[in-house]
Amino acid sequence: MSPDDVFFPYLLKLFAEYLEDMEFSTEEARLRGSEAFAGWLKELFPEVSPAETYGDEEEEEEETTERTPEGDALFVLLSFLQADPSGAWVQEFWGSLLITQRNAPRHSVAEVNISYLIRWADDRLFSFVCVLPPHMIKPKGVLSDYLVTKIGSLSAMQFHDMIAERPLDLLHDVQQLKIPKGDIEEVLRRTVSVVSEEPNARRREDLQNAIHLMRSMILPPLPPEAELEARQAMTGNSLTGGSWEIFPSEEAE
C-alpha cells in the first residue's frame, strides 16, 4: 500500500470533516496546531484497535472482513493512534493537509521546472531536470499549491531512486564534458557585455534580469549567513566541534 495513494487521501477526508465539525478555517486549524487534530481523531476512534479493522488473522477466512483501500487506510490510522497516543505522527502530514485546503491560486501556474546539479571537483557536471511543460497542464491553470509541492516531492523521490540505482562514481564516469565555473562565468560576462549594448533601456533591464536568473540557478551564491547557520545546525550551540566541511564557503560571493 502506498501512503500517498491510500492513506493520505483518507487522512485528508478526515481533516475536511474536522474543519467542518469544529467550524474552523484552515488558518484557525493551523494556529491550533496538529495536536488538536490528533486529539479529535482519538475522540473519533476512542476504543478501536487495528486488529478490529479486518478481524483476527486466526479467524476463518469466510468470517474475515474483505479488504478495501479505505480499510487499509483506517488500519494504518489506528496503528498510528495506538503506537503514538501523543499524536506527534500527524506532524509529518500537517503541512500537506493545510496546503490542500487552500483556495485555488489567483495566478495560473504555466510551468514547473525543478533542477538538481551535481558538480565534481574535476569540473564534471550532472544535471537532473524535472519539467512539467505548459502543454501538459490541463486544464490550464489547475495547478494548486499542493500539486506543485507534490511535483517537487516526486522529483526528489526520482532523484533519490536514480542515485540508489546508479552510484555517483558511475554518474561521474559517463559525463564526457567538463565545465569549469570559470567558463560559465565567462559566458555570462560575454552575455552581459552584449546586453549592455541594447539601446532600449527597458529591454536592457529585462535581459539583465534574465541573466541574473540564469546565474542564480547555475552558480548560486552562498548567503553570508549560510556558513554560521550550517555549523550551528551540525553542532548545536557549539561552533567548535563536529564536521561541517560539506558546506563550501571558500568561494562565497
Q: Which helix (H) or strand (E) holds 75?
A: helix 69-83
Average pLDDT score over residue span 52-67: 56
What are the tens digits of pLDDT across the range 186-234?
999 999 999 999 999 999 999 999 999 999 888 887 776 766 776 666 6
Q: Are 23 and 79 within one domain? A: yes
Q: Are 162 and 203 within one domain? A: no
Average pLDDT score over residue span 23-41: 92
Q: Are 135 and 153 within one domain? A: yes
* Domain-embedded: residue 131: yes
* Domain-embedded: residue 249: no
Q: Which residues contact 113 (CB under 8 A, 6 or more apart)?
A: 129, 130, 131, 132
| Extended beta strands in 10-91, E state | none
* Domain-embedded: residue 166: yes
Q: Per the structure, how many domains does the chain have? A: 3
What are the tens digits of pLDDT across the range 127-179?
999 888 877 777 776 788 888 888 898 899 999 999 999 999 999 999 988 99
Q: Are 14 and 95 within one domain? A: yes
Q: Phi, psi at residue 60, to the nearest 5°?
A: -65, 145
Domain with 153, as residue range(s), is: 112-173
Q: Which helix (H) or strand (E) holds 93?
A: helix 91-100
Q: Position of cell 560576462?
A: 189
Q: Are 28 and 73 within one domain? A: yes
* Domain-embedded: residue 246: no
* Domain-embedded: residue 251: no
